[in-house]
């Protein structure tokens, strides 16, 4: 039996096989009122499940318990100078685990590293408690490949807060996001697989136990080590990384391309251990640098390069400077063109009508002050009294071809050439000119 799927207009006789329309609140892609309120945080491309079934409770717990614990620590624990210095140092250590390790080494293969450095970076990255390197790098490759589209796991097109944190608070539609993405190498790397298999104990040790032990054993501040070098430091590392998906796609310049939302910004670089030159990075992702200029703040680049002096990292990849400069110049040209488009350069050549010699002469005889300059008919009526050389000098030329005089009798300025083009009214018919 075939079932009719379309709906009859109101008042029409219902056929016996009439199918009721689906309830409006069950329609695919419809957002519940609560989700609509949270749309700024949760984005829109996350299916039609009720909100409570869509939340990723593990992520929600982890991302709210850490700032809460940090606050408890700040309210209950004495702040010690040594612990705070260590917390800042450990922020950079674990931050570099993400930027130099997870991101530039494992996700982008922007350089190579010896096993010792690879393991160290995997441990440092685990200390940032952002998931296993395999999971992280896979999502990040999808982000680059499908940037700003529904397949981008943290698409900025879903809003600043979705890109920052919202994408982790909802369950991702694994069938929709980021496929295909080539991740074979991540599965083939024994160290990445080792970290993935043992992720939880490694991450718990590196994120919390290790900093607690360091502060406890060396200056007897176990509580401070846990709360400040562990938890509070982790909150900062988290949001530092999250800013690469939000702020780095929001604020700054499109220095190399305006085809995506990624931006270059020194402010973003300062809060992301050097990942703020994101426009460059999206254009040249396999370059081990983000801040390509020597003066740009990119401690991750410096870290990778310093290790290379000792042979611990090698094959540091750089995009050819020729290609980098091309991108920058193309964007500069685009900006220039758009500035130029705002000015009056005179009518476009193609838009000007043709004028015959007879027409020209009769108009001049009727008192219109026309001259011919470079095959164009130029109406100087409004300008002749303003002519810097004086009206008298110009008068004898009315009705004549002034091309020669314009250049040789007096070598006119670029400004004069630009100005006369705005007075063009026609093109002279070639045979008549």
Interface segment toward Zn ion; rule CB under 5 A; list 49-57, 109-117, 259-267, 328-336: 259-267
- In the complex, the smallest distance separating the C-beta of residue 244 from Zn ion, rounded to whole angstroms, is 6
Interface segment toward Zn ion; rule CB under 5 A; list 194-202, 257-265, 374-382, 406-414: 257-265
Nearer to Zn ion by Cβ, of 152 and 189: the residue is 152
- In the complex, the smallest distance separating the C-beta of residue 271 from Zn ion, rounded to whole angstroms, is 15
- In the complex, the smallest distance separating the C-beta of residue 246 from Zn ion, rounded to whole angstroms, is 10
**Per-position x/- string for 204-243, each x denoting binding to Zn ion as judged by CB under 5 A, each - no binding:** ----------------------------------------
- In the complex, the smallest distance separating the C-beta of residue 280 from Zn ion, rounded to whole angstroms, is 11
Q: Pick from 79, 89, 80: which is nearest to 236 by CA?
A: 89
- Binding residues with Zn ion: total (CB under 5 A): 1
Q: What does the buried/exposed string (b/e) look like for 246-276 if buried means 16 or more CB atoms within 10 Å of the residue's CB? A: bbbbbebebbbbeebbbbbbeebbebbbbbb
- In the complex, the smallest distance separating the C-beta of residue 234 from Zn ion, rounded to whole angstroms, is 22
Q: How far apart are the first and last CA of the chain?
A: 81
Q: What are the tokens at 365?
A: 């005889």
Q: Are 316 and 309 in contact (CB under 8 A)?
A: no
Interface segment toward Zn ion; rule CB under 5 A; list 254-262, 297-305, 313-321, 339-347: 254-262
| CA 85 – CA 91 distance, rounded (Å) | 10
Q: In angstroms, what CA-CA distances link 204 with 68, 163, 200, 226, 402?
A: 18, 26, 6, 12, 84
| CA 295 – CA 318 distance, rounded (Å) | 17
**Per-position x/- string for 262-291, each x denoting binding to Zn ion as judged by CB under 5 A, each - no binding:** x-----------------------------
Nearer to Zn ion by Cβ, of 90 and 250: the residue is 250
Nearer to Zn ion by Cβ, of 262 and 378: the residue is 262
Interface segment toward Zn ion; rule CB under 5 A; list 223-231, 255-263, 386-394, 395-403: 255-263
Nearer to Zn ion by Cβ, of 195 and 246: the residue is 246
Q: Pick from 86, 68, 63: which is nearest to 228 by CA?
A: 86
- In the complex, the smallest distance separating the C-beta of residue 188 from Zn ion, rounded to whole angstroms, is 20
Beta bridge partners of 426: 377
- In the complex, the smallest distance separating the C-beta of residue 227 from Zn ion, rounded to whole angstroms, is 32
- In the complex, the smallest distance separating the C-beta of residue 114 from Zn ion, rounded to whole angstroms, is 22
Q: What is the DSSP string of 388-431?
A: TT-HHHHGGGTTSB-HHIIIIIS---HHHHHHHHTTEEEEE-GG
Nearer to Zn ion by Cβ, of 304 and 377: the residue is 304
Give the containing element (helix H, strand E) for 314. Answer: strand 313-314
Beta bridge partners of 424: 378
- In the complex, the smallest distance separating the C-beta of residue 141 from Zn ion, rounded to whole angstroms, is 8
Q: What is the DSSP string of 74-92?
A: HHHS---HHHHHHHHHHHH
Say which residues have a Cβ less than 8 Å from residue 119's Cβ, sequence separation at least 6: 191
Nearer to Zn ion by Cβ, of 141 and 424: the residue is 141
Nearer to Zn ion by Cβ, of 219 and 319: the residue is 319
| CB-nearest residue to Zn ion | 262
Q: What are phi and psi of 354, to 5 degrees?
A: -85, 145
- In the complex, the smallest distance separating the C-beta of residue 140 from Zn ion, rounded to whole angstroms, is 6
Nearer to Zn ion by Cβ, of 170 and 262: the residue is 262
| CA 43 – CA 34 distance, rounded (Å) | 12
Phi-psi group of 78: left, alpha or beta (phi > 0 → left; psi -120 to 50 → alpha; rest → beta): beta
Q: Give the Cα-Cα-Cα angle 368, 374, 379 (nearest 5 degrees).
A: 20
Nearer to Zn ion by Cβ, of 251 and 401: the residue is 251
Nearer to Zn ion by Cβ, of 157 and 356: the residue is 157
Interface segment toward Zn ion; rule CB under 5 A; list 27-35, 256-264, 289-297, 304-312: 256-264
Interface segment toward Zn ion; rule CB under 5 A; list 123-131, 209-217, 260-268, 294-302: 260-268
Question: Would you tell me which residues interact with Zn ion (CB under 5 A)?
Answer: 262
């Amino acid at each position: 039996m075939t079932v009719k799927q379309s709906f009859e207009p109101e008042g029409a006789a219902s056929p016996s096989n009439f199918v009721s329309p689906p309830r409006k609140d069950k329609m695919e892609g419809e957002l519940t009122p609560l989700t609509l309120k949270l749309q700024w945080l949760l984005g829109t491309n996350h299916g039609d499940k009720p909100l409570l079934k869509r939340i990723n409770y593990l992520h929600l717990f982890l991302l709210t318990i850490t700032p809460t614990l940090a606050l408890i620590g700040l309210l209950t624990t004495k702040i010690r100078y040594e612990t705070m210095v260590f917390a800042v140092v450990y922020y950079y250590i674990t931050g570099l685990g993400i930027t130099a390790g997870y991101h530039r080494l494992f996700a982008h293969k922007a350089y190579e590293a010896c096993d010792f450095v690879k393991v160290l970076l995997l441990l440092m990255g685990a200390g940032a408690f952002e998931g296993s390197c395999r999971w992280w790098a896979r999502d990040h490759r999808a982000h680059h490949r499908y940037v700003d589209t529904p397949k981008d796991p943290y698409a900025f097109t879903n809003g600043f807060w979705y890109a920052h944190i919202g994408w982790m608070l909802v369950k991702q539609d694994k069938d929709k996001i980021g496929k295909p993405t080539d991740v074979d190498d991540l599965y083939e790397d024994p160290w990445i697989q080792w970290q993935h298999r043992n992720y939880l104990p490694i991450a718990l040790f590196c994120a919390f136990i290790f900093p607690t032990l360091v502060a406890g054993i060396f200056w007897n501040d176990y509580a401070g080590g846990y709360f400040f070098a562990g938890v509070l430091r982790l909150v900062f590392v988290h949001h530092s990384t999250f800013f690469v998906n939000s702020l780095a796609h929001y604020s700054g310049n499109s220095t190399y391309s305006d085809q995506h939302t990624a931006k270059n910004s020194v402010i973003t670089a300062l809060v992301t251990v050097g990942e703020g030159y994101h426009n460059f990075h999206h254009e040249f992702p396999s370059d081990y640098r983000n801040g390509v200029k020597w003066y740009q703040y990119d401690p991750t680049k410096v870290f990778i390069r310093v290790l290379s002096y000792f042979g611990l990292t090698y094959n540091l990849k750089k995009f050819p400077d020729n290609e980098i400069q091309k991108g920058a110049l193309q964007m500069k040209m685009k900006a220039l063109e758009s500035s130029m488009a705002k000015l009056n350069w005179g009518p476009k050549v193609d838009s000007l009508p043709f004028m015959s010699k007879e027409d020209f002469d009769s108009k001049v005889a009727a008192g219109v002050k026309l001259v011919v300059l470079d095959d164009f008919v130029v109406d100087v009526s409004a300008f002749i009294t303003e002519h810097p050389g004086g009206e008298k000098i110009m008068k004898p030329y009315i009705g004549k071809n002034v091309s020669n005089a314009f250049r040789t009798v007096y070598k006119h300025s670029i400004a004069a050439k630009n100005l006369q083009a705005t007075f063009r009214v026609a093109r002279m018919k070639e045979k008549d000119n």
